[in-house]
Structure 1
């Protein structure tokens, strides 16, 4: 009987050790889970902040692109008008030279 009591005690000791090992592994896994949950929360926070920043940058870009398009249109219209002024000036100069030449011949 003493032998079965000793065997039972040995089994009990092994069971307790196995349970303690399982608890240790579970606790380590729980610690890792907490760390990863904290990291996940930080990443989600960073994503939210970056998403907000991206939206603001996109909005700013859209406004600046619209303004640039307005500048492009204004520059194009101004250049076109300036070219018409130059053409008119050239035509006026030709007419003036012709008239001046005609006046010189009359005198």
Structure 2
């Protein structure tokens, strides 16, 4: 019976060791799970912050793009109007020079033919 008791004690010791090993593995797994849950919470928080920031940047960008389009339209219209003013000024100058020439000829004393 002593042999059986010794064998039983050996099995008991191995069982206790296996159970303690399982407890250790479970504790390590719990530690890893807790770390990953904390990391998930941090990441979810970061995603929320970044999503909010992305929304603000998108709103700002939309506003700036609209403003740029308005400025580009205003510049194009102003340049077209300025070009028309230059063309009109050139036409006016040409007409004035022609009229001044006509007036000069009209006011010159007439030469008498001999």
TM-score (norm 2): 0.93
The alignment of Structure 1 onto Structure 2 pairs a total of residues equal to 107
Gaps of 5+ in 2: 108-114
1:16 aligned residue: 16
**Residue 72 of structure 2 corresponds to residue 78 of structure 1:** no
Report 1:35-54 matches (<5 A). 35-54=35-54
User: Can you list the C-alpha shifts for 1:27-73, whole angstroms capped at 9, x where unaligned?
Assistant: 00100100010001100100110011001000000000000000000
User: Gaps (5+ residues) in structure 1?
Assistant: none
SS at 2:96 equivalent: helix
In structure 2, C-alpha distance between the alignment counterparts of 1:66 and 1:32, rounded to whole Å: 50
Q: Cα RMSD over matched residues?
A: 0.5
Distance 2:80 2:58 in 1: 33
The answer on 1:65 being equivalent to 2:65 is: yes
Q: What does residue 3 of structure 1 align with? A: 3
Write the distance in 2 (CA, Å) between the matches of 1:62 and 1:73.
17
Identify, as 1 or 2, the structure richer in helix: 1
